[in-house]
Amino acid sequence: MPAYDPRAVKGIGVTYATSTMGADHTAGYAVATNVLGIGGSLDPLQAEGQVELSRNLQIATASIDCTGLCLFVAFAVMDDSSALDGICEMLSGLYGREVTVDEYLGLGKQTLADERKFNAAAGFAAADDRLPDFCKTEKLAPHDVTFDVPDDELDTVYNFVE
């Protein structure tokens, strides 16, 4: 797992567990909100709210990736809602038709849905959307925390996929 320990930054732990491409901190960079306070603030040591945070960031990241934009554009979007409108305005100019925020985020959802379907066809299942056992059992100093986001909550990350 790259960059961050999921026991102390539980939002990134959700992303590591459920990302369609394996543990990838860039697939849904919850560190932005959990640690840096970008786009709001959510206690990184608490399990509550981490699934929703990771889900929304994974959708937004997939949308950004589909347009070929640099992932760092996400920081602007998280701190200024008009930045998302700006991306849609840019895409509207490119395609010669209006691209709405819902359509843009729908692109990310569809991409993740397609990736999930591919993974399912390759034999991946809910049991693969888990972190290694040590993350749940070995406490991480100095906060003495483990990754305690329940499995049944991890199973809801992609609840928008049919």
- pLDDT per residue as tens digits for the range 15-46: 999 999 999 999 999 999 999 999 999 999 99
Parse the chain into domains and list their residue ranges.
10-154
Confidence at residue 2, expressed as pLDDT on a 0 to 100 scale: 83
The pTM assigned to this predicted structure is 0.94
Helix ranges, 47-148 (H):
50-67, 73-79, 81-95, 101-121, 134-137
Confidence at residue 3, expressed as pLDDT on a 0 to 100 scale: 86
Residues 63, 104: contact at Cβ < 8 Å? Answer: yes
The model's confidence at residue 1, banded by pLDDT at 50, 70 and 90, is confident
The fold of 10-154 is 1.10.599
pLDDT at 162 over 80: no
pLDDT at 81 over 90: no
Confidence at residue 30, expressed as pLDDT on a 0 to 100 scale: 96
